[in-house]
Amino acid sequence: MALNSEADNGRNKSPLSTIGIPVLKTMGTILATMLGLLFVTFIIGRVMPIDPVISIVGERASKETYEAAYRAMGLDKPVIVQFFYYIRDILSGDFGQSLLNARPVAEDIKRVFPATLELATLGTIIGVVIGVPLGVLAAVRRGSWIDQLARLVALIGYSMPIFWLGLVGLLIFYGILGWVGGPGRVGIFYVDVVPSVTGMILVDSLLDGNWTVFKDAMSHIILPASLLGYYSLAYISRMTRSFMLEQMNAEYITTARVKGLSEWAVIWHHAFGNIKVQLITVIALSYAGLLEGSVLTEIIFAWPGIGSYITTALLSADMNAVLGGTVVVGLVFVCLNVFSDLLYKFFDPRAK
């Protein structure tokens, strides 16, 4: 009777309870996270020892000009009112104007973010394509030379500063061997040759059918993307090895082998199938880390991405640009977390 009652309750659940409530919870989590992010960036903008009015009107402005700008920026209002004004402007896509070039910060971010997205995406692809198989092989051949190599690769990736690897890479592969392009996204002769559709030069050159620009852009991106990919694969291979070792020691693996299944099926279908959900989190975190943490790589390779944009703005005390870039990076983290949750449900029906 109890089982029948539970089955009836499961059948009587409305679509709102099975679909609507989880969606509302997810949306509530996203809104709370973004509200917290906006609050933090707002507080940072207020506690920084930089007068935003002086940054706009200049130090030689008259008292009347200063007070007019002070009121126009809403700084005469209570802090809570200023915070709501800040949220209103952010939701409308208004991050203010950059003090460096007097352009809207939103336009600058729209221009520089695709460069970081392109670089981080290619780096993540390299990290996944090499790191996952390397981690699996290291776990399957535990204690062998493959395992030792994988652990050495991960150790070097963790311990070597990425800016040092970037400088050495430029010296060897660009300066001495000439195998790759130099700093920047393309050579000076190919700047603005293809129309900007997505902002990602590789995609835009393919859409335009310009293989010359595509090859030149690939020669410029391959070295910084490989460095980020190496940093990513060091993390991904290490975590993959750890996850696989845990599965390979499980009883169901022994049972599968006793049943006569091939080693390929045991490794890739059973063991690897059970770590896919865990790998989603690892890859998502790695991708988010490259999107946010590729500052040194962008600076070394003169890559005009959001990392170098925020760094330049911070050194110039351009707080509108710094806070705008910070909000965008935070939004990317939230979106990646939501996307990874959706992938959980796709790969693991138990998460539904």
Summarize pLDDT for 35-49 with one digit per residue, the tens. Answer: 887 888 778 777 776
164 and 192 fall within a common domain: yes
68 and 167 fall within a common domain: no
Residue 158 covered by a domain: yes
Higher pLDDT, 262 or 170: 170
Give the pLDDT score at 130. 93
The greatest distance separating any two alpha carbons of the chain, rounded to the nearest whole angstrom, comes to 87
Rounded mean pLDDT of the chain? 81
DSSP string computed for 110-122: HHHHHHHHHHHHH
Residue 98 covered by a domain: no
Question: The pTM is what?
Answer: 0.81
- Where does a domain end: 24, 59, 91? 91
**Which tokens go with 36?**
């917290």
Q: How far apart are CA 253 and CA 246, in angstroms?
A: 11
CATH code, domain carrying 210: 1.10.3720.10
How sure is the predictor about 12, in pLDDT bands with cuts at 50, 70 and 90? low
78 and 147 fall within a common domain: no
With contact defined as beta carbons under 8 Å apart, do 238 and 154 qualify?
Answer: yes
221 and 297 fall within a common domain: yes
Give the least confident one: 12-16, 152-156, 266-270, 309-313. Answer: 12-16
Alpha helices in 145-275 (DSSP H): 145-159, 162-169, 201-208, 211-248, 251-258, 263-264
Residue 161: domain span: 105-351
Q: Is 173 helix (H, G, I), strand (E, B) or coil?
A: helix
Residue 228 covered by a domain: yes
For the cut 70, the answer to whether the pLDDT of residue 352 exceeds it is: no
How sure is the predictor about 132, in pLDDT bands with cuts at 50, 70 and 90? very high
Identify any residues that bridge with 104 across adjacent strands, giving them in sequence order: 97
Q: What is the mean pLDDT of residues 64-68?
A: 80
Higher pLDDT, 322 or 226: 226
For the cut 80, the answer to whether the pLDDT of residue 174 exceeds it is: yes
- Where does a domain end: 91, 116, 131? 91
How sure is the predictor about 247, in pLDDT bands with cuts at 50, 70 and 90? confident
69 and 129 fall within a common domain: no
Higher pLDDT, 351 or 172: 172
- Where does a domain end: 38, 69, 91? 91
For residue 296, give the amino acid letter.
L
Residue 298 covered by a domain: yes
For residue 318, give the amino acid letter.
D
Q: What is the pLDDT of residues 82-100, one digit of tens each?
A: 888 888 888 888 887 787 7
State the virtual CA torsion across 105, 107, 108, 112 in degrees, nearest 10: 140
Sole residue written with tokens 């852009």: 217
241 and 339 fall within a common domain: yes
Instruction: Count CB atoms within 10 A of the CB of residue 268.
Output: 12
* End-to-end alpha carbon distance in the chain: 26
137 and 255 fall within a common domain: yes
For the cut 50, the answer to whether the pLDDT of residue 65 exceeds it is: yes
Give the pLDDT score at 2. 47
214 and 264 fall within a common domain: yes
257 and 172 fall within a common domain: yes
**Which tokens go with 299?**
């600076």
With contact defined as beta carbons under 8 Å apart, do 124 and 283 qualify?
Answer: yes
Q: How far apart are CA 127 and CA 9, in angstroms?
A: 46
130 and 72 fall within a common domain: no
Q: How far apart are CA 72 and CA 8, in angstroms?
A: 62
Give the pLDDT score at 81. 82
For the cut 50, the answer to whether the pLDDT of residue 16 exceeds it is: no
The CA–CA distances, whole Å, from 117 to 6, 22, 111, 229, 297 equal 48, 30, 11, 13, 13
For residue 69, give the amino acid letter.
A
With contact defined as beta carbons under 8 Å apart, do 109 and 95 qualify?
Answer: yes
41 and 186 fall within a common domain: no
Q: What is the mean pLDDT of residues 209-234?
A: 91
The CA–CA distances, whole Å, from 252 to 242, 247, 261, 266, 274 equal 18, 9, 12, 10, 11
How sure is the predictor about 351, in pLDDT bands with cuts at 50, 70 and 90? low
Residue 96 covered by a domain: no
Give the pLDDT score at 40. 82
**181 burial via Cβ count (<10 Å: 0-12, 13-18, 19+):** buried
How sure is the predictor about 119, in pLDDT bands with cuts at 50, 70 and 90? very high
232 and 335 fall within a common domain: yes
DSSP annotation of 104: B
Number of independent structural domains in the chain:
2
For residue 280, what are the contacts with CB-CB under 8 A and spacing of at least 6? 340, 343, 344, 347
For the cut 70, the answer to whether the pLDDT of residue 233 exceeds it is: yes
Residue 32 covered by a domain: yes
Percent of the chain clearing pLDDT 90 (strictly above): 15
For the cut 60, the answer to whether the pLDDT of residue 315 exceeds it is: yes
Residue 338 covered by a domain: yes
Residue 100 covered by a domain: no
